[in-house]
Structure formats: structure tokens, C-alpha cells
């Protein structure tokens, strides 16, 4: 007993300084510490509960999804065999995230889903709609690489590849190269060459008419949209042709906006949009004024679109490359500069962009030096950046 009492007194002596120090703290500070600790633990358990609920629902959804699909297919096959609607399949319970109803499970009749699919089949529609991939500016440069690399994804990703550009001969060469090239999983998708001038409202309207025409043939979805059409111009704004600058705005901004708006009604969950912006979109550039402003619009539009379409499950990516080895410099300088200086590979840039798009990333910036410049632009004044590039980054133009 004596040893036990001694140990108890020692414990009380060790505990006494801690208790005294707590009471010696100012009451306001002591209350703040307790309140902060309570809020921290409440927030921690809320986040933990939210994560568990989401992961649990997702797991159960995946487990029950196969049962739902198998019952739908079985029902449709029986309807085709018996040619009647009197079949009453069993009612299944599968998890669904119905937060407003408050219950974890809700009841769905597989017969209702099957009857709707069978009715669409009887009216001449197919359950698996045609999936279309659209690539604009596909006649050269990164557009050509987009078309070739997307085609290698095969029919598992989409059924038809639409390549759109002004130069019909280049499109036919690209089409032949894709058809003769290596086929992806499920075989090579059908390639449709559309020699359209996409500039301005009229160009976007041409693509809309083609989409409406395709809709008249049957239901389809746009699984991938790559807005890559565009060009730039070198030189001080006062020395450039105003008509050419307005044409640039029409193609780089107006057409991209219209094409995206016309294609969105045909997109479903899992679809992807890739808008080609530029490293020039992060900061105003002297000797590159209108092009930088156009790409700043594309980047701002893409980021806002990503926020609006996130709940619909449509992934939006902004490709923001620096110098890339394409025909861009030759067109922008009107022949004064034949090649892009220090340009990186267009194939690698596009491959990185497609990888980022499949992951659902917002930005696709391949090289480390591009990422560094994009991050550093936040700490540089807009006027300072414009003045520096005007003073020290001269670009030739004819």
C-alpha cells in the first residue's frame, strides 16, 4: 500500500504543473484554443464522413451497375423474342446518390428502363449511338498530330473522326495516312474530311449545318472536340494589316466560341473538349498584341467552361504551348521567318495534351520552362510584360 500511495503522489506531482499552467493562461486565449481544437475535430470528421460516403457509394454503384445492365439487355432480348410489352421484370434496389430524399437506396424498375430502350429500338434508333470526334485546323501542325494520335485510340473511343480545315488536298492526304496507318483498339475509325473555312460566324454555322445533317441520319454524340484552328501575326499593331487582325479574331475567338456552343448539345458525360490556347495567353505581349489577346480570351473561356461543365461530367482542357515546330512562324511572319525558333516537337506536345485531357486536367503545359514562365507571369505586371516583350522580343513580318 505504501508503494501505491507513493506512486499516486508522484503522478499528482507530475500532473500539477500542467493543470496550473492551463489555469495561468488568459481566459480568452484558453477559450480560443479549446474552440479551435473543437472546430478542427468537427471539420476533420465531416471530411472523413464525406469521403467515406462518396467512396462507398461509388463502390456500390460499380458493383450493382453490371446487374442493372444485364437485366436491361435480358429484358430487351425477351421483348424482341416475344414481341410484346407484358413482361414484368423484378424490381431491383441499387444505390444512388439521392441526398434530397434522405434514403440510401431507392427503387428502380428495370422494366421501365428496358421498355424505353426497346421502344427506341422499335422506332428505328440504336441503343449505342455513333460517337464522333471533331478536330479543327487538322491540315497541318498540331491539328494533324491531334487527328493521327486520336485515330490511334481506335473505335473503342469513337466511331467517326471529322477532320476540318480549309485545304482539301491536305485533308485528303491526312485521311489516307490515317487509314493506312496503324489501327487502334477495335479498328480504325471512319474518317470524314470536311474542307470548311471556319472563320467567324459563317464558319461555325457551316459546322452546325453538318451536325444537323448528321442528326437527321440518326442519333449521335460528340465524344471529343478539339478546337485547334487558328493563326497569328507578328509585328507591332500599328504596322500590321487591320483586316488580317480582324480575321484572326474571327477564327481564334468567334469561330471557337460558336463551334463549342453548337457541339455542346451533342455531348454527354465523359466527353472531352480541348481548346488550343498558348503560353502567350498568360501575359500581354508586345509585337504580338492581338494574338496574345485572342489566346487570353481562349484561356479565360476554357477555365470558365470547365467550371460550368464539371457537374455534367464533361472534361475541358486548355492546351498552352510555347514555341512548337509547326508552320506557325511562316504564316505569322508572312514568310519572313520560316521556322519557329527553339520549337519543341508537335507530336510530343499533342501526346502530352491528350494524356492530360484523359486525366481530366485543366491545363496542358508540357515543358518545364513553359510551366515556369506561366507561373512567373503571375508576379510580373501586365504593362511590364508588354513593354519588355515589345522592347526585346522583336518578331519579323513582311
Higher per-residue pLDDT: 286 or 126:
286
Residue 109 and residue 225 in one domain: no
pLDDT of 203 strictly over 80 = yes
Q: At 311, list the grid cell.
A: 457537374
pLDDT of 63 strictly over 50 = no
Higher per-residue pLDDT: 124 or 264:
264
* pLDDT tens digit sequence for 355-397: 999 999 999 999 999 999 999 888 888 888 888 888 878 777 6
Q: How far apart are the first and last CA of the chain?
A: 103
Q: Three-state SS for 127?
A: coil
Residue 106 and residue 151 in one domain: no
* pLDDT tens digit sequence for 8-40: 445 445 444 444 445 555 666 667 777 777 777
Query: What pLDDT is recorded for position 199?
Result: 92
Query: What pLDDT is recorded for position 357?
Result: 95
Residue 365 neighbours by CB under 8 Å, 6+ apart: 279, 320, 321, 371, 374
Residue 61 lies in a domain: yes
Residue 175 and residue 90 in one domain: no
Q: Could you tell me how far CA 246 lies from the centroid of its own chain?
A: 28
Higher per-residue pLDDT: 167 or 393:
167
Domain CATH for 246: 3.40.50.720
Q: Among 65, 100, 122, which residue terminates a domain?
A: 122
Q: Which of 1-5, 84-88, 252-256, 315-319 bottoms out in mean pLDDT, i.e. has the lowest? A: 84-88
Q: At 38, list the grid cell.
A: 473543437
Residue 146 and residue 171 in one domain: yes
pLDDT band, very low/low/confident/very high, at 232 (cuts 50, 70, 90): confident
Give the mean pLDDT of the chain. 78
Q: Among 76, 105, 122, which residue terminates a domain?
A: 122
Query: What pLDDT is recorded for position 88?
Result: 45
How many angstroms separate the CA atoms of 7 and 10, rounded? 5
Residue 150 and residue 295 in one domain: yes
pLDDT of 239 strictly over 60 = yes
Q: Among 122, 146, 164, which residue terminates a domain?
A: 122
Query: What pLDDT is recorded for position 96?
Result: 42
pLDDT of 332 strictly over 50 = yes
How many angstroms separate the CA atoms of 89 and 72, rounded? 10
Nearest to 162 by CA among 93, 262, 296: 262
Residue 156 and residue 211 in one domain: yes
pLDDT of 164 strictly over 90 = yes
Task: Residue 345: give the domain boundaries.
Answer: 130-392
Query: What pLDDT is recorded for position 92?
Result: 42
Residue 213 and residue 110 in one domain: no
Q: Which of 46-55, 67-76, 265-274, 341-350 bottoms out in mean pLDDT, i.e. has the lowest? A: 67-76
Amino acid at each position: 500500500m505504501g508503494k501505491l500511495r507513493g506512486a499516486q503522489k508522484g503522478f499528482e506531482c507530475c500532473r500539477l504543473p500542467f493543470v496550473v499552467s492551463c489555469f495561468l493562461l488568459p481566459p480568452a486565449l484558453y477559450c480560443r484554443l479549446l474552440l479551435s481544437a473543437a472546430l478542427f475535430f468537427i471539420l476533420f470528421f465531416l471530411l472523413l464522413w464525406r469521403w467515406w460516403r462518396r467512396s462507398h457509394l461509388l463502390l456500390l454503384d460499380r458493383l450493382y451497375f453490371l446487374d442493372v445492365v444485364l437485366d436491361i439487355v435480358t429484358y430487351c432480348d425477351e421483348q424482341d423474342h416475344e414481341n410484346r410489352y407484358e413482361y414484368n421484370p423484378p424490381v431491383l434496389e441499387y444505390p444512388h446518390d439521392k441526398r434530397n430524399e434522405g434514403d440510401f437506396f431507392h427503387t428502380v424498375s428495370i422494366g421501365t428502363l428496358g421498355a424505353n430502350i426497346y421502344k427506341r429500338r422499335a422506332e428505328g434508333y440504336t441503343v449505342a449511338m455513333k460517337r464522333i470526334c471533331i478536330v479543327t485546323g487538322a491540315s497541318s501542325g498540331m491539328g494533324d498530330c491531334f487527328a493521327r494520335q486520336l485515330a490511334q485510340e481506335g473505335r473503342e473511343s469513337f466511331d467517326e473522326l471529322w477532320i476540318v480545315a480549309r485545304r482539301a488536298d491536305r485533308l485528303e492526304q491526312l485521311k489516307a495516312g490515317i487509314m493506312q496507318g496503324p489501327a487502334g483498339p477495335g479498328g480504325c475509325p471512319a474518317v470524314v474530311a470536311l474542307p470548311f473555312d471556319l472563320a467567324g460566324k459563317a464558319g461555325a454555322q457551316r459546322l452546325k449545318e453538318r451536325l444537323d445533317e448528321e442528326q437527321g441520319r440518326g442519333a449521335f454524340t460528340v465524344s471529343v472536340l478539339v478546337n485547334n484552328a487558328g493563326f497569328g501575326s507578328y509585328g507591332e499593331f500599328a504596322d500590321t494589316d487591320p483586316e488580317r487582325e480582324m480575321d484572326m479574331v474571327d477564327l481564334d475567338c468567334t469561330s471557337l466560341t460558336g463551334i463549342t456552343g453548337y457541339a455542346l448539345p451533342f455531348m454527354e458525360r465523359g466527353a472531352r473538349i480541348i481548346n488550343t490556347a498558348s503560353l502567350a495567353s498568360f501575359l500581354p505581349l508586345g509585337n504580338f498584341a492581338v494574338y496574345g489577346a485572342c489566346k487570353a480570351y481562349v484561356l479565360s473561356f476554357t477555365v470558365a467552361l470547365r467550371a460550368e461543365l464539371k457537374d455534367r461530367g464533361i472534361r475541358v482542357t486548355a492546351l498552352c504551348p510555347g514555341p512548337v515546330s509547326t508552320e506557325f512562324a511562316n504564316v505569322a511572319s508572312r514568310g519572313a521567318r520560316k521556322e519557329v525558333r527553339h520549337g519543341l516537337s508537335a507530336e510530343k506536345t499533342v501526346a502530352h495534351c491528350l494524356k492530360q485531357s484523359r486525366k481530366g486536367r485543366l491545363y496542358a503545359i508540357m515543358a518545364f520552362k513553359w510551366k515556369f514562365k506561366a507561373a512567373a507571369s503571375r508576379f510580373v505586371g501586365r504593362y511590364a510584360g508588354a513593354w519588355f516583350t515589345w522592347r526585346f522580343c522583336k518578331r519579323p513580318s513582311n
